[in-house]
Chain A
C-alpha cells in the first residue's frame, strides 16, 4: 500500500461528493486533495455571453430539428420551467442546452453500443434562451431507460441532460432532469449520489395536465435553481412592476 486513502470531499450538501464509490467511474477520477476555497473577490467572472443570433427557430424542439424523412418515434413531451438564482429571481437571456437518448434508450454517439435502434429523425440535442420571466420551453421525446456497465443489471432512469449558464462562472451547472414515479431512481447511483433528499427531489420534473396538449404531448414542469454567487451583473434596474 503506497497510496494514502482518499480524503472525503465536501463540495456542499447540495452537490454530490467527488468520490462516490457506488458510481465506479468516480474512483479513479475524483481528486484526493482537498479543494482550495476560491476567494470571492476572484470568482466574479461574468458570462458567458451567447446572443440569440446563433439560435435557430427549431433549436429548442428535438421533434423537428433533426427530421430527415418523418416524425421521431416516441412519446412527445413539453418541458417548461424557470431558471432562477438562489434568491429566487429569474435569470433572463441565459443559454440552456440539452441532450438525451431517444425513445428506445439510445444516444446518437459512437460510444453508445446499447442494442436499441437509432431514430433517423432524432438526435436529442436542443438549446434555448430563457425569456424575460426566466422561462424556457423544450419540446422533445421522452427518453428511454438504458443499461450501463456500472454494476450488474444497472439501468439509468429516463433523463434529459441540462447544461445551464447563469450570469457568472460559479453559477455554471450541468445537471439531469428525471421523470416522476420512475422505479429506476431508487437503484441509480448517479441520482443517489446527491446527499440532500430535497435536492434529489428538485431534479424530478412534475407532470402538469395544464401544460399537456390534447392529442399531442405530455407536459412537465422543471425549474432550475442556480447556486454560486447571486450577483446579477446584467440585471436591468427593476421597472416592470
Chain B
C-alpha cells in the first residue's frame, strides 16, 4: 500500500481544475480505430490477436476464439474491437511486463464475414471453484462506454463458478463457447449479441 499523497493539480499545468477532479469519461472508439490500435499503418509491434508466437514453449493447449458481433437486427457489426485478458494454462495472470505469457490480445471484425479471431492458450482455473475463462473488453462505433463480458468453455466444469452463478440460468449459454475440432486445431465459437433475443450478458465494473 503506497502512502504517496494525491498529486496537486495546479491550474498552471493541468486542464483539470481541482474542483473538477474525477475520472475521465469514456468515449467511443469510433469507426477508425484500426488505424491506431490494430493495423500496421506506420507503427509496428502493435498489440495483436496472438498471445503466443508459433514455436513458443509457453505451456498450454493452443486454441482459437472466433465469432461475430451482432447488432439488434442480427446483422454482423463490421467495426467492433475485442480485447481479451486472461490467465495462462496454470491459471496465473501475468504480473510483470516481461512475463513469458502476458495473457493479452486484441482483434477486430473488419474481416471477411466480420469474424473476429483470437489465437491464444486455453486458460486454467484461477482458483478453487473458478471455471477457466476469457475476460473480454468490447468497444465499437455506437458504444460510448465500452462493455465487459466473459467467455467460458463448454468442455469445462462451469457448475460452481461464482460469476456464472450471478447470471440468470436462461442467459448463461450466451457466455459459453462451443468447441470444434478443426485441421488448424481446436476452435471455440461464440457470437456476441448486443441486444434483443439471446443478448450477451454484460457486466458492470
Contact = CB atoms under 8 A, between A and B. Distances in A.
Interface of A: 3, 6, 11, 14-18, 20, 23, 25-33, 35-39, 42-43, 45-51, 54-56, 59, 65-66, 81-82, 84, 86-90, 93, 97-100, 107-109, 111-112, 123-127, 134, 161, 163, 169-170, 172-176, 190-191, 193-194, 196, 198-206, 208, 210, 220-229, 232-235, 237-238
A29 B194 contact: yes
Contacts of B200: 31
Nearest to B199: A33
Question: Interface residues of B: mostly helix, strand, loop or mixed?
Answer: loop
Contacts of A235: 2, 4
Nearest to B77: A29
A67 to B, nearest CB: 10
Contacts of A88: 6-7, 9, 21
B189 to A, nearest CB: 21
9 A-B pairs with least C-beta separation: A99-B36, A25-B142, A88-B6, A227-B23, A206-B15, A16-B144, A29-B142, A51-B97, A35-B204
28 contacts: A25-B28, A26-B143, A28-B72, A29-B141, A36-B204, A38-B204, A39-B166, A49-B97, A54-B45, A56-B43, A65-B42, A81-B14, A88-B7, A89-B6, A89-B7, A111-B31, A123-B42, A126-B36, A163-B29, A174-B139, A175-B25, A175-B26, A175-B27, A200-B25, A210-B12, A222-B15, A225-B24, A238-B2
Contact of A45 (B73, B97, B135): B135
B15 A221 contact: yes
Given A59-B43, A175-B26, A199-B22, 11 more contacts: A16-B145, A25-B141, A31-B199, A86-B23, A99-B33, A175-B27, A202-B15, A206-B14, A226-B24, A233-B95, A234-B96
A60 to B, nearest CB: 10
Contact of B14 (A163, A223, A228): A223
Which of B44, B146, B201, B205 is most buried by chain A, counting CB atoms within 10 A of its CB? B205
B67 interface: no
Contacts of A36: 166-167, 201-204
A172 B24 contact: no
